[in-house]
Amino acid sequence: MKYIALTRKYRPQTFDEVIGQEHITKTLKNAIKSKRVAHAYIFAGPKGVGKTTTARILAKAMNCVNGPTQTPCGKCASCIEIVSSESVDVYEIDGASNRGIDEIRNLRENVKYASIRGKFKVYIIDEVHMLTTEAFNALLKTLEEPPAHVIFIFATTEPHRVIPTILSRCQRFDFRKLSIQEITNRIIYISKAEKIKIDEDALFLISKKADGSIRDAESMLDQLASYSEKAIKKADVVTVLGLCEADVYFELADAFISKESSRCLDIIDRTINNGYDLHEFVIGCIEHMRALQLVKIGADLEELRYNLQRYKTQVQKFDADDLLRVLNIMCRLEVEMKRSTQPRTVVEATFLRISKLESSVRLSEIFDRLDRLESEFTKKKDKYLTLEDITEEWLSFTNKIKEKISYLGSWLAGAKPLKLEENRLTITFPCEGDFHKEYIESSNRAVIQEELKAYFGRELELFLKVEKKKEKSDYTKKDLLEDQIVKSAVTLLDGEIISTG
Ligand SMILES: [Zn+2]
């Protein structure tokens, strides 16, 4: 007997058989019923979710001997030819391999002629986003005035790469990824029909690995059915698909928690020696960390059902913030290793870094520490008034005096604070300030000292000098402050900087 791939053998033949895309099949059926089928459709969505299958069903529905019909018979010549890709009226073009303008020119020539057998000419262009700009433009001309008997169906996994002028001429349908449950149901259905025995763990692994693609799940089942002699077991799936056992991920997470760097490296070594794919392994790690994260926040998802108790136990040992950081680092690792010529080294370095991570400093903790630091700093400022403080405030201080005794304020504004020893403040006047100095010493010193106390909050004894030379002070309050901040920042954020940088 001729071997037929499961994906082909079980390909849905009617709209009702298409799984998980009811929002699309229902609309298409209604369009057929009300004779409102569009001339151009975009079928967007991930791989293996039924785009081309639905396109073929639409082609059959339009061209069936009973058509246009919501339920193509599957028995007439037109239906049979379309199923076996032999229809003269249904053209399937792979955008990825026919990127050229020539193919589209041919298509344009061809479009003009009426269909040969059926009622409609249906052009299914797969991966339409791969077409060249010239080909797109040629296609656009056809789309501007589509002949009444022509239907275009453009399938794409990357609709954002299809030029807007094409998109705007099409009715768009977005196909969705299938849930684990939907895929599981489908695999159970096919396994029963094919008399393939498969245990529950294996079933779950396949459904999860398929990542929403029914075609991928069916291909995996196909592959495993030929590999396993009697029943498909979890170990078979792990071997054939190059997956790692969940145990490995639990062990790795434990090693992260207990900061056992060498055990992390050992796990990588074992994984590679056992013939597992390193990239698959890292993806598995990400999934594990994500699962822990979901369990941590109490999410109740079907994919967690498996191993739930183990996740719950392990996640108790993980701080929520740490977990999020590890997950972030892992996601970056996945990108980095794809770019690297030394992926193993990248993985090792990352695991080492994770196993050496300091625990997350909580934001509340940071705020507490900042508060303490600030109050200490304020205290310090009260106690130790510095010359720099006075210098910085001098002009403002003299303005205050000016409000009371105008000439005195002006004179003092011309002076500069020179030094501060204990509570002895010396200010210096420019060389021509002898008169000011003497006058103040004789009549205003007490007033100024009072004002100093009011302004700076300290009892200060004032000494006056007349000098030309300016003393150099290169350590300003600003420097000090910056220094403080830098120091505090380094102290506070140490772990973060090292770990995520
Ligand atoms: Zn038919």
pLDDT higher than threshold 50 for residue 282: yes
pLDDT band at 45; cut points 50, 70, 90: very high
pLDDT higher than threshold 80 for residue 104: no
The kind and range of the H/E element at 272 are: helix 261-273
Architecture of domain 180-240: Orthogonal Bundle (1.10)
How far away, in angstroms, is 64 Cα from ligand 1 center? 4
Q: What is the pLDDT of residues 169-223, one digit of tens each?
A: 999 999 999 999 999 999 999 999 999 999 998 998 899 889 899 999 999 999 9
Higher pLDDT, 501 or 40: 40
Percent of the chain having pLDDT more than 70? 88
Which one of 330-339, 362-371, 374-383 scores highest in mean pLDDT? 330-339
Higher pLDDT, 434 or 481: 434
How far away, in angstroms, is 45 Cα from ligand 1 center? 28
Higher pLDDT, 413 or 106: 413
How far away, in angstroms, is 65 Cα from ligand 1 center? 5
Fold of the 361-501 domain: GMP Synthetase; Chain A, domain 3 (3.30.300)
How far away, in angstroms, is 82 Cα from ligand 1 center? 9
Query: Smallest Cα–Cα separation from 355: which of 481, 220, 258?
Result: 258
Architecture of domain 246-355: Up-down Bundle (1.20)
pLDDT higher than threshold 90 for residue 59: yes
pLDDT at position 34 is 95
Plot region of 301 (φ>0 → left; ψ -120 to 50 → alpha; else → beta)? beta
Q: Which two tokens stand for residue 461?
A: 């004894």
pLDDT higher than threshold 50 for residue 225: yes
Q: What is the pLDDT of residues 285-319, one digit of tens each?
A: 998 999 999 898 888 777 777 778 889 999 998 88
Higher pLDDT, 469 or 409: 409
Which one of 108-122, 179-193, 372-386 scores highest in mean pLDDT? 179-193
The CA angle 252-208-129, to the nearest 5 degrees, is: 115
How far away, in angstroms, is 6 Cα from ligand 1 center? 23
How far away, in angstroms, is 77 Cα from ligand 1 center? 7
Q: What is the pLDDT of residues 142-173, one digit of tens each?
A: 888 888 889 999 999 999 988 888 899 999 99
Q: For residue 334, which amino acid is it?
A: E
How far away, in angstroms, is 450 Cα from ligand 1 center? 106
Higher pLDDT, 321 or 82: 82
Percent of the chain having pLDDT more than 90? 39
Contact 166, 133 (CB under 8 A): no
Higher pLDDT, 197 or 238: 197
Tell me the mean pLDDT in the region 471-499: 45
3-state secondary structure of 280: helix
Task: Give start and end residues of each alpha helix (H) in 13-163.
Answer: 22-33, 51-63, 77-83, 101-111, 133-144
Higher pLDDT, 377 or 51: 51
Higher pLDDT, 293 or 243: 293
How far away, in angstroms, is 172 Cα from ligand 1 center? 26
pLDDT higher than threshold 60 for residue 338: yes
Q: Using CA atoms in the order 253, 255, 257, 260, what is the torsion angle rounded to 10 degrees?
A: -160
pLDDT band at 357; cut points 50, 70, 90: confident
Half-sphere exposure of 347 (CA within 13 A, CB side): 25
Instruction: Give the lowest-confidence range in 154-168, 455-469, 471-485.
Output: 471-485
How far away, in angstroms, is 84 Cα from ligand 1 center? 13
How far away, in angstroms, is 203 Cα from ligand 1 center? 35
How far away, in angstroms, is 14 Cα from ligand 1 center? 11
pLDDT band at 468; cut points 50, 70, 90: low
Q: What is the pLDDT of residues 417-451, one digit of tens each?
A: 999 888 889 999 888 778 888 888 888 888 899 89
Domain map (residue ranges) of the chain: 6-174, 180-240, 246-355, 361-501
Contact 292, 320 (CB under 8 A): no
3-state secondary structure of 72: coil
How far away, in angstroms, is 319 Cα from ligand 1 center? 61
A 10 A CB-CB count for 34 gives 8
Instruction: Give the lowest-confidence range in 74-83, 131-140, 376-385, 475-484.
Output: 475-484
Contact 42, 151 (CB under 8 A): no
pLDDT at position 115 is 75
How far away, in angstroms, is 7 Cα from ligand 1 center? 21
pLDDT higher than threshold 60 for residue 380: no
The CA angle 129-135-140, to the nearest 5 degrees, is: 85
pLDDT at position 12 is 95
Residue 432 DSSP one-character state: G
pLDDT band at 362; cut points 50, 70, 90: low
pLDDT higher than threshold 50 for residue 495: no
Q: Which two tokens stand for residue 421?
A: 């020893």
pLDDT at position 477 is 46
Fold of the 6-174 domain: Rossmann fold (3.40.50)
pLDDT at position 56 is 96
How far away, in angstroms, is 208 Cα from ligand 1 center? 36
How far away, in angstroms, is 29 Cα from ligand 1 center? 15
Q: Return mean pLDDT, the chain.
A: 84
pLDDT at position 118 is 66
pLDDT at position 496 is 37
- CA 92/CA 82 separation, integer angstroms: 10
pLDDT band at 481; cut points 50, 70, 90: very low
pLDDT at position 476 is 47
pLDDT higher than threshold 50 for residue 13: yes
HEC assignment per residue over 17-47? HCCCCHHHHHHHHHHHHCCCCCCEEEEECCC
